[in-house]
Amino acid sequence: MGEIFVLEYSQDISEASLYEIENFCVLSHSELIFAENGIALISGSASNMSDSAFVKRIARVIEIKDRQEAISGESLPPGKFYVRFLDGSDCHDSSLESYLGGILGGSGRVSFSSPDFIVRVYHLEKWYVAIEIFSGNSSQFENRRAPRRPFFSPISMHPRIARFLVNVSNAPKNGTILDPFCGTGGILMEAGSTGRRVVGIDMSLQMTVGAKLNLKYFGIRDFSIITGNFLEVEIPNNIDTIVTDLPYGRNSPMHRQDILELYWKSMEKFGRILKRGSRCVIAVSDLQMLPRSLPDFTILKVIDNRIHKSLTRHYVIMERQ
């Protein structure tokens, strides 16, 4: 067994959080040992987890004990620290932190203002003492929300969801992601911010101009934005994955029959673009509008996200056969 890491993850869309973690584990040849109540344990590597849409914190385990009294702190590195405690079993509360600081040898070493490291103690079935190695900054996603962009549309996907779709597309770090219905560029921004090259297409000149403005504003330079009909545009031959939010009737002037035809023809073209084994990740609001037969693809996972009473988004992860 390799190193053990504790992940704290968002439970807003638990199914998406867990699927993303499991997918990262497969890519890094790691093992998901446990996941419950917003806490996960993995064995192996956590190097790619910092790009997660939902992982809030990562800590490397240095001590595992059956009882809290057995915790010694002998494995702690030198330097100043403070302790934070989280109980996945709801047996104890944060008032235990002072006690834990004492048995970890915190006398004269505790510093909240300038610590050398932060100790995270978790109580699951056992007690885990860990050193925090990553703490996510939720403001990175909030700062890229539609109203904070130079150009925005009120129907734009939340950056956290866009990041999730990009992550589970399994595009290589130096790969190229295509969004054939890019709108204001929300998916492209998340893909570009993780180091991928991005290609976006949209029929609206206003949208493509706005997407370029947004990408430049957030420091993304390796992109290509094309104005035109995806079904008619010649696509570069270096596309690794497709990630897109398909147009849907609620916010589109298209009639249902037109959208059905668009979906069918788009999926057909997706199959021609992608290599075998590549992924296509889409968001739709009505699964019945997808073609009943997808001969080029196998559906790996469908995750439902209820936005409000009358709208549920479905995130569909597919693999090219």
Whether residues 126 and 177 fall in one domain:
no
- Which of residues 135, 152, 177 is at a domain's end? 135
Contact by Cβ (8 Å): 97, 169 = no
pLDDT of 252 > 70? The answer is no
Q: What is the largest CA-CA distance in the chain?
A: 71
Which pLDDT score is estimated for 254?
63
Whether residues 112 and 149 fall in one domain:
no
pLDDT digits (tens, 9 = 90+) for 36-71: 999 999 999 998 999 999 999 999 999 999 999 999
Count of CB atoms situated within 10 Å of the CB of 126 = 13
pLDDT digits (tens, 9 = 90+) for 18-27: 999 999 999 9
Count: domains in the chain: 2
Please report, rounded to a whole number, the percentage of residues in the chain having pLDDT higher than 70.
98
H or E, element range at 282? strand 279-284
Parent domain of 54: 4-135
Whether residues 127 and 159 fall in one domain:
no
pLDDT of 77 > 90? The answer is yes
Which pLDDT score is estimated for 249?
53
pLDDT digits (tens, 9 = 90+) for 254-309: 677 888 999 999 999 999 999 999 999 999 999 998 998 899 999 999 999 998 88
Whether residues 147 and 82 fall in one domain:
no
Output the CA angle 174-177-183, nearest 5 degrees.
Answer: 140
pLDDT of 165 > 90? The answer is yes
Whether residues 218 and 129 fall in one domain:
no
> Chain-centre distance of CA 8, in angstroms?
14
Please report, rounded to a whole number, the percentage of residues in the chain having pLDDT higher than 90.
85
CA 83/CA 200 separation, integer angstroms: 45
Place of tokens 């235990």: 96
Mean predicted confidence (pLDDT) in 212-232 = 97
Whether residues 20 and 160 fall in one domain:
no
